[in-house]
Amino acid sequence: MLVVDVLAGGVRGGTAIMFAALGETLAERAGVVNLGTEGCMLVGALGGYAVAAETGSPWLSLLAGALAGALLGLVHAAAVLWRGADQFATGLTLMFLGLGLTSLFGAAYVGSPAPGFDPVPVPVLGDLPIVGEILFRHDPVTYLSFAVAPLLWFFLGRTRTGLLVRTAGERADVLHAHGHSPALVRAAAVVAGAGLAGLGGAQLSTAYAHAWFEGMTAGRGFIAVALVIFAAWRPLWVMAGSYLFGAALALAPALQARGHALNQFALDALPFVVTLVILAILGRRTLRAAPEELRRVFAR
């Protein structure tokens, strides 16, 4: 059934976007925009695939991908928070840096085999009609992702550390008055968020594509950044939106598998068209829900 295939593909294909978007949500709730999310995903994809190829352990590849993304995020945090660099310019520079690094060091892994994550149906649940196909016939990383959005929601809304992150994005002066460093809190959020983007990249290469090739993220990092605004900085909405964009990505192969002759370039552009349309509809209303410190960044 076409609808079931598209929705199942949306869950599987939207997982990498969700990891990246949740990471960007964390950073932006602390008051920092990271347009280098695409670069973080790229280095995570290559780092994860390379470690899987060299060690034979796909689980180590997830750790390597997260670490690679976090290191690139640390560069962004250092430049923006301690050197006063422009957030947008620095983020775009990091994106190109990630693209260049992965093109340079990833050439040796193009076409190289590496162990990855195969689909593992959940007993009983995987046999359910429709729901089983959509939710319970995926790889272990996709199952792991189901818990990330609720955990981030709980972390931001129900923990003291999450309160520090939100305060850094809303009223940094209050954080400073209580003896905390806004820069350190923001840096931790940016690095952790970039690590999640790197984890999304590792999922893309080791569980989704089972391959590494140059520029494989294909704009997913930018979709993730836009999705955070679309979801109004709410982790659970980010999860739903990620599956929506994942379904847009899954539509093309599902139609092609059924022999429909459609313009490939139009289908490839569909996720980005959806992004632009949603952002145009939401407009400034969503931006008013942004953290106070983030609104100042946009205003500048």
Q: What is the pLDDT along the chain (300 residues), one digit of tens a residue?
A: 788 989 999 999 999 999 999 999 999 999 999 999 999 999 999 999 999 999 999 999 999 999 999 999 999 999 999 998 999 999 999 999 999 999 999 999 999 999 999 999 999 999 999 999 999 999 999 999 999 999 999 999 999 999 999 999 998 888 888 888 999 999 999 999 999 999 999 999 999 999 999 999 988 999 999 899 888 899 999 999 999 889 988 887 777 777 666 666 666 777 777 777 777 776 666 667 778 888 887 776
How far is the C-alpha of 190 from the C-alpha of 283, rounded, in Å? Answer: 25
Global pTM reads: 0.94
How far is the C-alpha of 245 from the C-alpha of 224, rounded, in Å? Answer: 9
Rounded to the nearest angstrom, the gap between the alpha carbon of residue 176 and the centroid of all alpha carbons in its chain is 30
CB 174 within 8 A of CB 167: yes
Domains and CATH numbers, the chain: 2-298 (1.10.3470)
How far is the C-alpha of 12 from the C-alpha of 142, rounded, in Å? Answer: 7
Residues 6+ apart with CB under 8 A from 176: 182
The CB density around residue 2, as the number of other CB atoms within 10 Å, is 12
How far is the C-alpha of 216 from the C-alpha of 201, rounded, in Å? Answer: 9
CB 27 within 8 A of CB 190: yes
How far is the C-alpha of 229 from the C-alpha of 279, rounded, in Å? Answer: 8
